[in-house]
Amino acid sequence: MTEKQSMHIDPYEKNWIRLSIGLLVVFALAVTIAGFAMGIQVPSPEARVDPRTVADEGPWAEPGLRELAPGKYEAYVLAQTWQFTPREMTIPAGSEVTFYITSKDVQHGFKLQNTNINVMVIPGQVSKLSVKIDEPGRYDYICTEFCGLGHAAMFGTLIVE
Ligand code: CUA
């Protein structure tokens, strides 16, 4: 057997190699488009906090909305069994809100209905995600991790007027 013959690749196998490389290109494009063109973010842990004291001092001692500039808000949300604080927030349509969410007890979830905000809320960790909402309406935020008896009643509302 010569060197040339040992390098021979079956045409059938060649097609599978082409298909595999093609899929990799498609995946890389999908991730790039989702991240840069569609603004889909990976919820990264923004900071570490001590869940035992996070509600005693700092921004989660008084959770809620802060207006940074016209149309630009940050929202500090505290999750605990079985409620979000605050339960209700109101922003004008067209505003951008950055959420900073943490839990003072067990693991919760935070999903803002009809937006792409959906994040795990882990005690000791701050989850940060931003959204711009143009359409007025009531946007409920609900807990998406089973956290005990009152889980189903754990929700709040973002009002966009
Ligand atoms: Cu909190 Cu389910």
For residue 152, give the ligand 1 atom closest to its CA. Answer: 2
CA dihedral in degrees (143, 145, 151, 157; nearest 10)?
Answer: 0
Distance of alpha carbon 10 from alpha carbon 71, whole angstroms: 61
Which pLDDT belongs to residue 4? 57
pLDDT (average), residues 17-45: 88
What homologous superfamily is domain 45-160 in, according to CATH? Cupredoxins -  blue copper proteins (2.60.40.420)
Which pLDDT belongs to residue 2? 53
Ligand 1 contacts CB of residue 151 (under 6 A): yes
Distance 44 CA to ligand 1 centre (A): 20
Q: Using the structure block, give the residue that is written with the tokens 């900071």.
A: 47
Distance of alpha carbon 116 from alpha carbon 139, whole angstroms: 12
Task: Output the pTM of the full model.
Answer: 0.78
pLDDT cut 70: percent of the chain above it: 95
Helices (H), the chain: 3-6, 11-32
Domain boundaries, the chain: 8-37, 45-160
For residue 147, give the ligand 1 atom closest to its CA. Answer: 2
Confidence of residue 40 (pLDDT cuts 50, 70, 90): confident
Cα Rg, the chain, nearest whole Å = 23
Residue with the larger pLDDT of the pair 37 and 26: 26
